[in-house]
A = this chain, B = another copy of it.
Amino acid sequence: MEKVRLKSVPLKSVHIHDGFWDKYIRLVKDVILPYQWDTLNDRVEDAEPSHCIQNFRIAAGEESGTFQGAVFQDTDVAKWLEAVAFTLASSGRDEKLERLADETIALIGRAQCEDGYLNTYYTIQEPDRRWTNLKEGHELYTAGHMIEAAVAYYEATGKKEFLNIVSRFADVICEKFGKEEKQCHGYPGHPEIELALVKLYRITGNRKYLDTAKFFVDARGQGTNYFELEEKGERYKPIFPEFAGYQPEYSQSHLPVRQQKTAEGHAVRAVYLYSAMADLAYEYQDEELEKACETLWNNMVQKRMYITGGIGSSGLLERFTTDYDLPNDRNYSESCASIGLAMFGKRMGDMTRDAAYADIVEKALYNTVLAGIAMDGKSFFYVNPLEVWPDNCMERTSLEHVKPVRQKWFGVACCPPNIARTLASLGQYIYSQNQESLYLNLYVSNETEVVLKGKTYRIKVNSSFLTDGSVNILAEGEKGSEIQEGAGGNLALRIPGYVREFKIYRNKKQTENPVLQKGYLILENLGDREEITIEFQIKSHFVWANPQVRADEGKVALMRGPLVYCLEETDNGSNLSSLYVDTEAEPEEQYEPELLGGVVSVKLRGKRITMKGWEDGSLYNEAKPVLEDTVLKAVPYCNWGNRRTGEMTVWIKELINH
């Protein structure tokens, strides 16, 4: 029997008005998009010029000069356009913004080569080297972001110009790459084109896009590694010196994807690839590929993921390492990797209807992705450590990749626009649906309209989930159309894995002995007007790591609902490593409206190692530690680093009863 996947409710139909999320989403339109527009146009005084728009003008023959920036510089404008599209869809059309976008799209069109090829680096700088260095050249990666942006822009505005541009380029790609003898058998050094081609297929219905995506995924890691072969090409030219000593694992090309059992290599590359694999597993009803996705997912989330939803334990090469290797202070955990994890999880959840995937999507979004952006929207983390001691994050040392404060912008500016497009498209993570059922995955206040079993329902979610765990849902059937007995749609409520107790009231009547289906409680046959109230017990609780995670042994973390908490120097003084928490004592919660935009802080009983016995300034001594009582104060990890610069830690030493 053919499986039918769930789909997101169209972004246009989801109207978010949420106390927690609104402040971030608003930043996209108010702060990030304008700032990024200025960056793209080299108008920000104290930032490195991006050259991005300039490159397009040069490629279009409207300006003279040389290409400047990274080989994938074009993606900056692609991600900006995608974020604009999502913003237009979710926050409503905006003439001024749309005009900027239209003009930019027109410029992109003029920069496109006559044969449909589109990439300013190769067009300006290396016209004779197209497709000769897939390992480093990022042509297919850049194409993928252009396609994603065009699809989003079409969905938001109905305008086809951008879609036509990228379709012409996609046609070039589909002709160039494939199984045929005359075609190139290579695949991208950085996956992204695959999931983009699936999106293009879904919007155009043109099956060759899907087939080429499948070609890329299946060709990867087959036979002699393509990246080794292409190095022997006549016109091959290396780009990044740091790619010397390249290992196929880095780009997940060490094995055919169906044989890969562990998440390896560059974390962003990995999750972008896995997302496409999940797409294709569904589109081709390919159980083997679905199984491969499941295996990789499980390896990642059960052995290689931080409690914050961060992935990528090694700073060098931003990559996965080995099972249970989760160091807290030198990890990479790129913001983009957690975005990719959410993308992958969303696809797996839609295919399997298993709420466990949404647990991880929520973890990544609410913790690492949000930590990646300052609360004023003006600075960003690439790297998301779980423990920071600012003094030792020194340039030209092993910790140089870890920044104790968010950075304004980056030379390689992937994370800020990626966070922007994710925030602007949050709506797509809230719901999934099919013709009968609406799945509510994230408890974000919003209103939407869906058709279930042929009936239109207006859904209003009023959530104070993060504050007190309660969610109110009002579902109203289309006015005037009586719902026939037993013919109403279904509402599937995700019961998060971390919730120990909950109560659900349907029209004020408590649902007795609710049975969950893969983590969802399904309310069937919705009537004309249903009031549903959920009371989740989300009080803060301690969480331990599997003892095989050596970095976390003897330590404990604090969570409250989906939010991971941390200690900051601002609240707890310096030297957070000197603190112990007493997990026998009940955490004390307090909503602080003035703190970090309004958060629940948590006080914990504990001890602190004092400096008693070390007055002589010695480095090693026979002075047994002297502890004193103290109270620890924890705040949500997603908000760290928004006050003074200082130490931070997620994992806290635990007082052991012995």
Query: What's the least CB distance linking A492 to chain B, in Å?
Result: 24
Q: Do B619 and A305 touch (CB < 8 A)?
A: yes
**Chain A positions 21-47 with a Cβ under 8 Å from a chain B Cβ:** none
Q: Do B397 and A546 touch (CB < 8 A)?
A: no
Query: What's the least CB distance linking A656 to chain B, in Å?
Result: 6
- Answer whether A611 and B547 are a contact pair too, CB < 8 Å, given A302-B619, A330-B398, A618-B302: yes
Q: Hey, which chain B residues are within 8 Å of A656, CB to CB?
A: 580, 607, 625, 627, 655-656
Q: Do B549 and A578 touch (CB < 8 A)?
A: no
CA distance A262 to B245 in the complex (A): 36
Is A482 on the interface with B (CB-CB < 8 A)? no
Q: Which of A133-141, A316-324, A364-372, A427-435 contacts B (4 or more CB under 8 A)?
A: A316-324
Is A591 on the interface with B (CB-CB < 8 A)? no
Q: Do A550 and B389 touch (CB < 8 A)?
A: yes
Question: In terms of DSSP, what is the predominant structure of the interface of chain A?
Answer: loop
Q: Do B609 and A553 touch (CB < 8 A)?
A: yes
Q: Do B554 and A396 touch (CB < 8 A)?
A: no
Is A1 on the interface with B (CB-CB < 8 A)? no
Q: Do A303 and B396 touch (CB < 8 A)?
A: no
CA distance A402 to B55 in the complex (A): 43
Q: Do A622 and B544 touch (CB < 8 A)?
A: yes
Q: Do B548 and A575 touch (CB < 8 A)?
A: yes
Binary per-residue interface labels of chain A (629-658) against chain B in the complex, 1 for a CB within 8 Å, 0 otherwise: 000000000000000000000000111101
CA distance A322 to B398 in the complex (A): 12
**Chain A positions 578-606 with a Cβ under 8 Å from a chain B Cβ:** 578, 580, 582-583
Binary per-residue interface labels of chain A (395-412) against chain B in the complex, 1 for a CB within 8 Å, 0 otherwise: 111111000000000000
Q: Hey, which chain B residues are within 8 Å of A544, CB to CB?
A: 620-625
Query: What's the least CB distance linking A433 to chain B, in Å?
Result: 30
Is A239 on the interface with B (CB-CB < 8 A)? no
Q: Do B548 and A397 touch (CB < 8 A)?
A: no
Q: Hey, which chain B residues are within 8 Å of A399, CB to CB?
A: 314, 321
Q: Hey, which chain B residues are within 8 Å of A255, CB to CB?
A: none
Q: Among B316, B553, B614, which residue has its beta carbon within 8 angstroms of that of A547?
A: B614
CA distance A305 to B543 in the complex (A): 35
Q: Do A316 and B396 touch (CB < 8 A)?
A: yes
Q: Do A319 and B547 touch (CB < 8 A)?
A: no
Give 16 CB contacts A-B under 8 Å: A302-B618, A302-B619, A315-B398, A319-B397, A325-B389, A398-B398, A542-B624, A544-B624, A547-B578, A547-B625, A553-B575, A554-B580, A554-B609, A557-B620, A582-B658, A625-B656
The 3 closest A-B pairs by CB, nearest first: A314-B397, A550-B577, A325-B392
